[in-house]
Amino acid sequence: MKTKTPSLFIGLAALAVLAGCATPETRIKKNPTVFASLAPAEQELVRQGRVAIGFTPPMVRIALGNPDRVTQRIDKNGTSEIWHYRSLDDCYFYGGAGLPWGYWRGGWRGWWGPYWGGYHGAPAVYRDHIRAVFTNGRLVLIEQDA
């Protein structure tokens, strides 16, 4: 008897990924007051999913969504908050199912067979796609892929 567990797992994982994908338009609809308070040029940038120096955290959140990770930098000028954004395009996929290899690392009986710790590709590697640096509640630096 064949098991449908891998297919079910793949389907649920795909739904979880798609559910997390929000567009600037959906974020604008959820935050109409913040969006309405922006200047027309800022509104256009947010609609395009872009940010500019001087944006506040709520403005960046509407344009780009929630960051994947937040870190702090402390230097002689004070403390800055860094929002890190990653995208699925920056991940190396293995396993043929569109899931990061790390999900399959212990082996998946019925998918690759009983592989426990063997080499079946490199681990999933994520890198920042955008870094947004805030000082005193304002965006002061944007680092992004060209």
User: What tens digit of pLDDT does each residue of 42-63 get?
Assistant: 999 999 999 999 999 999 999 9
Domain presence at residue 99? no
Closest residue by Cα to residue 137 from 83, 67, 75, 64: 83
User: What tens digit of pLDDT does each residue of 99-128 get?
Assistant: 444 444 444 444 444 444 444 455 556 778
Domain presence at residue 107? no
Contact indicator for 142, 130 with CB cutoff of 8 Å: yes
Domain presence at residue 86? yes
CATH code where residue 78 lies: 3.30.1450
Domain presence at residue 96? no
> Residue 65 has what pLDDT?
95
Domain presence at residue 103? no
Q: Which structural domain, as residue segments, surrounds residue 130?
A: 5-91+126-144
Domain count, the chain: 1
CA distance 36 to 34: 6
Reported as a pLDDT band with limits 50, 70 and 90, residue 145 is confident
Domain presence at residue 41? yes
Domain presence at residue 11? yes
> Residue 12 has what pLDDT?
45
